[in-house]
Structure 1
Amino acid sequence: VYVLDEPTSGLHLADVERLLGLLDRLVDSGKSVIVIEHHQAVMAHADWIMDLGPGAGHDGGRIVFEGTPADLVAARSTLTGEHLAAYVGA
């Protein structure tokens, strides 16, 4: 199991794509990868999203959505869902 906290922090967009390719190879080889991330490209690329909220800090900490990125975009039930929908052009 690999756990990464904000792995795209400070990366150029091209390097984010390289990171996503590396994570795909890890998953394809049978490894589990858990990523804590705010980068919308990473969220859109994920197999599964757990959105914590509804706010930040003491206003959050509850799972407000769990499912695929497409389901989150379709539901738009959270602030993350609204921003991800705008990012993917839905």
Structure 2
Amino acid sequence: MTVQQLISLALLIWNLVVFVIYGLDKGKARKQAYRIPEKTLMAMAIFFGGLGAWAGGHFFHHKTQKLYFKLAWLLGLAVDILVIYYLWR
């Protein structure tokens, strides 16, 4: 496996983890249990988890009304796209 493939796989796995975390937080919100801090969710999105955060937000209907989350998702998506672009160009 090449370095590009390994980094792409790690990026994919990280985005899946972020997607699941958004689902877990939505479940906690429904049960009124201890929540994952918003700063953590946004940091996960910005640092290579934009696609997973965006997909998780929309799939679980979680944090979709908050503009600052949409901006974090957009920034995270841009980071993901730039990483993939520079890896495979």
Query: Structure 2 length normalisation: TM-score?
Result: 0.34
More helix by share: 2
- Considering fraction of residues, name the structure with more strand: 1
Task: Specify which structure has the bigger relative contact order, considering alpha-carbon pairs within 8 angstroms and separated by 6 or more residues.
Answer: 2
Give TM-score scaled by structure 1 length.
0.34
